[in-house]
């Protein structure tokens, strides 16, 4: 009573319908219930999940892409989605990254390599400068994950440098007292 199609089958045993197929060398059998139509729907859904690499949440490894090629894609996106001044700054920074990572694919770049770059880059520069550059790299790799070019962002665990966090604070109008109103204790 089994019906075969693409090495997947449905069959009836007793009152229930079952599905039966082999995936990556493992045999899968599931009891569906008394409805043949339900079994047909489930087997069709499983076929679709396997074709789309969603069965058992198994995803294909992304195709290797050179750092330079992905940087070009990212900069095209940045040109349309960011201010012109931001794009120009990122273009300059991206040239620095390209010199560092040009021979690698984005999949080959590791957290350790980025930490090494960060340490070398800090020599003679303010921490804030390196942190801004690091933020760009972090965003670029986040977009690579979002666009399914990369499974995991290697920059996510790279910590920024601690720098001076002093900032100029302006008083609000209700905090301001003219000098003449300040009581002088004598």
CA 57/CA 96 separation, integer angstroms: 37
Q: Which range, 4-18, 20-34, 88-102, has the best average confidence (pLDDT)?
A: 88-102
- Residue 43's CB is within 10 A of a number of other CB atoms, namely 23
- pLDDT at residue 106 above 60? yes
pLDDT value, residue 34: 93
Question: What one-character DSSP code corresponds to residue 181?
Answer: G
Helix locations, 52-167, DSSP H: 67-81, 84-101, 111-122, 127-146
End-to-end CA distance of the chain: 105
Q: Say what percent of the chain tops pLDDT 90.
A: 56
pLDDT band at 21 (very low <50, low <70, confident <90, very high): confident
pLDDT band at 1 (very low <50, low <70, confident <90, very high): very low
CA 186/CA 132 separation, integer angstroms: 50
CA 171/CA 142 separation, integer angstroms: 38
pLDDT value, residue 84: 94
CA 135/CA 132 separation, integer angstroms: 5
- Residue 10's CB is within 10 A of a number of other CB atoms, namely 21
Q: How far is CA 5 from the centre of its chain?
A: 37
**Is the pTM higher than 0.75?**
no
- pLDDT at residue 56 above 50? yes
- Residue 172's CB is within 10 A of a number of other CB atoms, namely 7
pLDDT value, residue 86: 93
- When pLDDT is averaged across residues 175-182 and rounded to a whole number, the result is 69
pLDDT value, residue 2: 44
Bridging pattern class, strands 26-33 and 16-23: antiparallel
124 or 52, higher pLDDT = 124
pLDDT band at 185 (very low <50, low <70, confident <90, very high): low
Helix (H, G, I), strand (E, B) or coil at 135: helix
Q: Note whether 8 and 43 are within 8 A (CB).
A: yes
Q: Note whether 50 and 23 are within 8 A (CB).
A: yes
Q: What digits encode the pLDDT tens for the residues 141-156? A: 999 999 989 989 999 9
């Amino acid at each position: 009573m089994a019906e075969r199609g693409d090495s997947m089958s449905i069959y009836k045993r007793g009152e229930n319908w079952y599905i039966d197929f082999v995936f990556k060398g493992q045999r899968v059998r599931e009891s569906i219930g008394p409805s043949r139509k339900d079994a047909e729907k489930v087997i069709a859904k499983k076929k679709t999940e396997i074709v789309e690499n969603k069965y058992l949440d198994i995803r294909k490894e992304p195709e290797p892409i050179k750092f330079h090629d992905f940087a070009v894609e990212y900069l095209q996106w940045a040109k349309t989605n960011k201010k012109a001044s931001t794009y120009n700054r990122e273009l300059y920074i991206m040239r620095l990254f390209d010199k560092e990572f040009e021979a690698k694919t984005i999949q080959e770049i590791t957290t350790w390599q980025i930490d090494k770059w960060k340490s070398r880059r800090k020599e003679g520069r303010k921490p804030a400068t390196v942190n801004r550059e690091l933020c760009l790299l972090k965003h670029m790799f986040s977009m690579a994950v979002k666009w399914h070019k990369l499974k995991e962002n290697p920059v996510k665990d790279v910590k920024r440098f601690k720098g001076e966090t002093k900032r100029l604070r302006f008083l609000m109008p209700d905090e301001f007292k003219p000098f003449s109103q300040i009581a002088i204790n004598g």
